[in-house]
Homo-oligomer: A and B are copies of this chain.
Amino acid sequence: MPAITPLFAPPLPRGREEGEEHHQLKHTITFLPDNVSCSVDDNTNLFRAVKAAGLYVLSSCGGKGNCGKCKVIIKEGRVEGEKSRSFLSAEEAGRGYTLACLSRVKSDLVVEIPPESRMQAKHKIATGANREELLRLMKQAGGCLESRISRVYLELGAPTIDDNIADLERLKRALDRAGYHAANLHVNYMMLSKLPFVLREGAWKVTASVFSVGEVLEVLDIFPGDATETRYGAAVDIGTTTVVVYLVDMTNGRVIDMASTYNSQGKCGDDVITRIVYATERNGLQELQKLAVGNINTLLADLAEKNKVPPGMIDYLVVAGNTTMTHLFYGINPEHIREEPYIPAATFFPLIRGKSVGLQGSPQAIIYSMPNVASYVGGDISSGVLVSQIHKQDKVSLFIDIGTNGEMVLGNKEWLVTAACSAGPAFEGSGIKFGMRAMEGAIEEIEIDPKTYDVNYRVIGDVKPIGICGSGMIDALAEMYMNGVIDQKGKIREELASKRVRRGESGLEFVLAWRVESAINKEIVITEVDLDNLIRAKAAIYAGFATLLAQMGMRFGEIEKLYIAGGFGRYIDIERAITIGMLPDLPVEKFQFLGNTSIIGAYYALLCDRLRHEAEEIARRMTYVELSVSRSFMDEYLSALFLPHTNIDAFPTIKKEMARRNRLV
């Protein structure tokens, strides 16, 4: 039995919490089930100890004691720390549960990281459309294989006493003869360092990777012999939650392979605001940059190895991410993004070299960032609009990207307005008692029997459930509402004749899965607090749409097409999302899923410089509406805090269905 001695002491201030005063004392911690051990100083914060051991524990708040996700079980030994502020049930506390981030190590420990606190290995991250279709889509969007970066094979001829110009001058001459305008040739240190040796290694036959910007030609890298056929690029989506990479054969535009992972920044907080705060503390900015770049390095290395791409052969990367992710990737402090008037350091980021951000394998590669629009509308959205093509259409369409954030763009070939709603990452599990990402063990579909209130659910991976993911939450909300488990305000009807409705530690709750069904030896429930959070989130999204429309004096009915992008978006059940009033009540055929448009747009820009230009034009054309200070957004938001909406006439389909079910609204 573990001995927990809560001291009710406030958490130590950062910078001192690793027990500077007790350096001499060391403790060994063994983490289960991985059976990984590490040695730490006395008083070390247990959340940091998990990180130090190279392990992962869920956390939405980055270890600040605000989210209650980093539950661990002390199997042996003693920790001290603050009581866990209502995040632990009495039963859990009795079983040795504690929040890692609020515990300080006071002896050797055996600590179990329970399933619900672990990142699952198997998961589904949307990597975009069908690999074979992407090239066709790019061409459909008016693109062609015309990158800014190309390779040219050159035969320089060996120097002699009579032709003894410098190596670099010889290269320039060869480029001039090959039709390149090399008068303004730029070279970088790395290239110049290796030039003399590569020229001689290749017996004066070399391949130059060249990059043209306006009148300036730059030689990025140089290879012995003919290396024109081994020319690669990468499109990268740095999402708040996931990182996706496409490895692209630049000679034919084909996506060779793709890979994805969770953004390791997750351990520093789930949402961009938490990460911005983290970035402003200690070495937070460098740490966050390192984590994101580390993810990209790992994915690229895996892809390169698997597909036999030699190091240094990736010439060009196009990266898309929201504005905060882009700042963090560049290592630029994003702190002003979260303070009114919400100003990013940059929206159009400069080209940089792989080396500058710590990219391994291809330090010489040029990195381009898809253009951002404003603090909360980033390169992922200009990328998305490029893919949706709404900026070329006569009629007005709506583009929405529901990921960790909710961004939307309304417009046509004449105008584009955009906004971001601070929906928060509720649909990704944050603030929801059993909320989790769409990975193995997550309930992703729910049906409630209208008579018995029994719950049918489907779990990702067909295993016992450990929690509920976004699509499951939408289903839960819709089913509970349509079947009268909750009222229009999301309040659970206590009088309901079902043992699934019960009073838990944080008020009324509804049992989705019984203890015997679950993988965590606990009932999986949805609480009134959860319901409230979900309704706020869906209200914010809907209010965003409504505000943008009102801004343009339009009505939902005038929207020709509604494009849904984002990893999360792929798995939404449209009809249920309409039921809860998250999406407007439009005919289902007007909705179209586009997948991960962030990376698809980056892929377009990687291959075709004209499309890259187009994305920049899109970013420039977009008018950004700051919802957080909009009076009309607040009105819309308050009206949307009902299921489906205060004004049920805006949801005729739902109204009709409720009437059919003889249920008052």
User: Which residues from chain A sit less than 8 Å from chain B, CB to CB?
Assistant: 159-161, 164-169, 184, 186-189, 192-193, 195-197, 200, 213-216, 330-333, 335-336, 340-350, 352, 356, 372, 374-375, 624, 626, 629
Chain B residues whose C-beta falls within 8 Å of the C-beta of A164 in the assembled complex: 341-343, 374-375, 624, 626
Residue of B nearest to A170 (CB): B343
Once A164-B374, A331-B193, A336-B196 are accepted as A-B contacts, the answer to whether A348 and B215 lie under 8 Å apart by CB is no
In angstroms, Cα B169 to Cα A205, docked, is 44
In angstroms, Cα B556 to Cα A43, docked, is 86
When A and B form their complex, which 5 residue pairs have the shortest distance between CB atoms, in order from nearest? A168-B346, A166-B347, A166-B344, A196-B345, A161-B341
Chain B residues whose C-beta falls within 8 Å of the C-beta of A331 in the assembled complex: 189, 193
Once A161-B340, A214-B216, A340-B161 are accepted as A-B contacts, the answer to whether A347 and B168 lie under 8 Å apart by CB is yes
Chain B CB within 10 A, most for which of A160, A333, A372: A333
Chain B residues whose C-beta falls within 8 Å of the C-beta of A160 in the assembled complex: 341
Residue of B nearest to A334 (CB): B196
Chain B residues whose C-beta falls within 8 Å of the C-beta of A184 in the assembled complex: 213-214
Tell me the dominant secondary structure on chain A's binding face. Answer: loop
- Are A168 and B214 in touch, CB under 8 angstroms? no
- Are A192 and B626 in touch, CB under 8 angstroms? no
Which of the residues B166, B332, B348, B626 comes within 8 Å of A193, measured between beta carbons?
A: B332
- Are B161 and A629 in touch, CB under 8 angstroms? yes
What number of copies of this chain does the assembly contain? Answer: 2
- Are B345 and A166 in touch, CB under 8 angstroms? yes
Chain B residues whose C-beta falls within 8 Å of the C-beta of A335 in the assembled complex: 196
Chain B residues whose C-beta falls within 8 Å of the C-beta of A213 in the assembled complex: 184, 216
Additional pairs, 15, CB under 8 Å, beyond known A161-B626, A192-B350: A161-B341, A161-B342, A161-B629, A166-B346, A166-B347, A168-B346, A169-B347, A169-B348, A184-B214, A187-B346, A189-B330, A192-B345, A192-B349, A196-B335, A214-B216
Chain B residues whose C-beta falls within 8 Å of the C-beta of A193 in the assembled complex: 331-333
Chain B residues whose C-beta falls within 8 Å of the C-beta of A165 in the assembled complex: 343, 347
Once A189-B331, A356-B189 are accepted as A-B contacts, the answer to whether A168 and B348 lie under 8 Å apart by CB is yes
In angstroms, Cα B485 to Cα A356, docked, is 66
Chain B residues whose C-beta falls within 8 Å of the C-beta of A352 in the assembled complex: 189
- Are A167 and B341 in touch, CB under 8 angstroms? no
> Chain B nearest CB: distance from A356 CB in Å?
6
In angstroms, Cα B357 to Cα A193, docked, is 13
Chain B residues whose C-beta falls within 8 Å of the C-beta of A189 in the assembled complex: 330-331, 350, 352, 356
> Chain B nearest CB: distance from A417 CB in Å?
14
Residue of B nearest to A353 (CB): B189
Chain B CB within 10 A, most for which of A188, A197, A350: A350
Chain B CB within 10 A, most for which of A195, A335, A341: A341
Residue of B nearest to A342 (CB): B164
Chain B residues whose C-beta falls within 8 Å of the C-beta of A333 in the assembled complex: 193, 196-197
- Are A350 and B624 in touch, CB under 8 angstroms? no
In angstroms, Cα B192 to Cα A588, docked, is 45
> Chain B nearest CB: distance from A192 CB in Å?
6
Residue of B nearest to A626 (CB): B161
> Chain B nearest CB: distance from A126 CB in Å?
29
Chain B residues whose C-beta falls within 8 Å of the C-beta of A347 in the assembled complex: 165-166, 168-169
In angstroms, Cα B161 to Cα A629, docked, is 8
In angstroms, Cα B166 to Cα A330, docked, is 15
Residue of B nearest to A323 (CB): B166
In angstroms, Cα B160 to Cα A168, docked, is 50
Chain B residues whose C-beta falls within 8 Å of the C-beta of A343 in the assembled complex: 159, 164-167, 196
> Chain B nearest CB: distance from A581 CB in Å?
28
Once A186-B350, A350-B192 are accepted as A-B contacts, the answer to whether A167 and B216 lie under 8 Å apart by CB is no
> Chain B nearest CB: distance from A173 CB in Å?
12
In angstroms, Cα B654 to Cα A275, docked, is 84
